Structure 1
C-alpha cells in the first residue's frame, strides 16, 4: 500500500501502540497503592519502569521510522525561522515535562519512591505540567512534519495526557484527601490561571534548581543526536 494515503497500516499500528502504552502506564499507576502494600514501593517502581520504558521506547522508535507516513497535510520546513521555533518549543516542552517529577534517586528506586504534594516552581504555573509539555512537543513536531501520521500520533498522546489529568487528580485525592483538595483549589490546570487569579505568586528563584540544568543538558544532547536518530529510524523503516 502507498505510504502516502489516508489509510496506512502504520497509522493503525501507532494507534494500537498508543492504546497499549496508555493502558499499561495508567493501569499500573492505578494499581500503585495496592501493589506497594504487597511488594513495596521500590520493587513496584522497578516493575513499572520495566513495563513502561520498553513500551515508550518502542513508541518513539516507531514514530521516528514512520513520521512521514500518511498524507502530507502541509509543508512548512522551508519557512525561514521555523526550525528555530520548533527547537525552541521542543526545549520549552522538556521544561514542563520533566522537572515536576525530577527526583532521580526516587526514579531509580534508590530512595523510596513517594507521591509528593507541593505547589512550588512550575506547579504554580500549572498543576499538570506534563500535559502542557506534551501539547507543546506535539504542536512543534506536527507543525514541522505536517503528516497525517504525526497528527494522529499527537492527538493520541494529548488524549492520553488529558486522561492522565483526570486520573492523576482522582488518585491524589483518594490518597491525600483534604490536603490535595486544598492544593487543587490554589492551583490550576490551565497555565498561569492561578497566578492571574491571585492564588499563586510567580517566584522565579524556585526555578534555579539542578533539575533545569539537567533538562538543558538533555535538550543539547537530543539536538546533537538528532541526525543519528534519523539514520536509525530510516534503517528501521526500510526493514
Structure 2
C-alpha cells in the first residue's frame, strides 16, 4: 500500500510541479486532461485496494460496538469532505471546459485554512482509522497524511513561484492550522461566502456516499486484488 501511495504521490505532485512547462507546450486544457488521465485511474486503484484490504494486518483496537461511535465517525467523515473538495467551485475548469487556472484567494474555507484538502484528509483518516482499527488502515492513513503534509510545502512553493509577493501577503493573512488565522485576528469568517451552490453539491455527494456505502463495498469486492 505504501508503494502504491508513493506512486500516486509521485505522479500527482510531479505533474503539478510540471504544470507550467506542460501548459506552455500543450496548453492548459490538454494538460488538465493529461493530469486527469494519470491521476484518476491511480486514485481509483488506491480506493479499491484500500476497501478490499482495510481489515488486513493486526486488529489494533475495536470500537465499532461503542455507542454512538458510528454517528461520530460519519459526522467526522462528512466534515472532511467539506474541506477535501473546495475545487468543486471550479467544476468547468476541472473538466477543462474553461481554461484551468491556478487561483490565489483567501475567501470562504481559505479563511479557516490555506490548505483545506490537507485538513480534510487528516479528518478523514482519523475517522476511518478509528472505526476500522487495523494496522493496514493505520499505515494507509499515515501515508496519506504524509503526502498531504508534503503537498502543503509543495503548494506554497508553487504559489510563490507564480505570484511572488502577492502570495507572501496571502500567506501572512492565512494559516495552515485550521482557525489559527481567525484566532490571531488575521481573518474573520464571513458566512455569506459559504452560501454557494458548490456546497450543495458536496452535501449531495456526502448523502450519496451514505446510502451507497454497501453498494460500493459490494462492487469493489468483485475486484480480486
> How high is the TM-score relative to the length of structure 2?
0.98
Deviation at 1:224? 1.1
Say if 1:106 and 1:114, in contact at 8 Å, map to a contact too: yes
Q: Pick from 84, 95, 104: which aligns with 2:82? A: 95
Distance apart, 1:234 and its partner CA = 2.9
Shift of 1:202: 0.8
Alignment partner, residue 206 of structure 1: 193
Indicate the residue corresponding to 2:123 in structure 1: 136
Q: Comparing 228-237 with 164-173, which one deviates more in the overlay?
A: 228-237
Inter-partner Cα distance in structure 1 for 2:77 and 2:223: 24
Of stretches 215-224 and 97-106 in structure 1, the one that deviates more from structure 2 is 97-106
For residue 158 of structure 1, the aligned residue among 131, 140, 145 is 145
Secondary structure in structure 1 of the residue aligned to 2:222: helix
How far apart, CA to CA, are the structure 2 residues paired with 1:22 and 1:194? 28
Conservation of the 8 A alpha-carbon contact between 1:93 and 1:136? yes
- The CA distance in 2 between the partners of 1:101 and 1:117, in whole Å, is 15
Contact 2:173/2:186 (CA < 8 Å) preserved in 1? yes
Aligned residues: 225
Find the partner of 2:38 among 51, 57, 64: 51
| Per-residue Cα deviation, 1:146-194 (whole angstroms, up to 9, x for no partner) | 0000000000000000000000000000011011011000000010010
The RMSD of aligned alpha carbons is 0.9
| Partner secondary structure for residue 102 of structure 1 | helix
Secondary structure at the aligned position of 1:174 is classed as helix
Kept in 1: contact 2:88–2:198 (CA 8 A): no
Separation in 2, partners of 1:100, 1:192: 20
Specify the alignment match of 1:169 in structure 2. Answer: 156
CA distance in 1, matches of 2:60, 2:219: 25
After TM superposition, give the deviation of residue 233 of structure 1 in Å.
3.0
Which residue, out of 2, 11, 16, partners 1:29?
16
- Going from structure 1 to structure 2, the CA distance change for 1:30 and 1:137 (only over 3 Å counts) comes to same
Secondary structure of the structure 2 residue equivalent to 1:127: coil
State the match for 2:135 in structure 1. 148
- Deviation of 1:99 (Å): 1.9
TM value normalised by structure 1 = 0.92
Show the counterpart of 2:110.
Answer: 123
Aligned to 2:99: 112
Structure 2 match to 1:40: 27
* Structure 1 alignment gaps of length 5 or more: 1-13
Shift of 1:101: 5.2
Give the Cα separation in 2 of the matches to 1:184 and 1:101: 22
- 3-state SS of the aligned residue for 1:48? helix
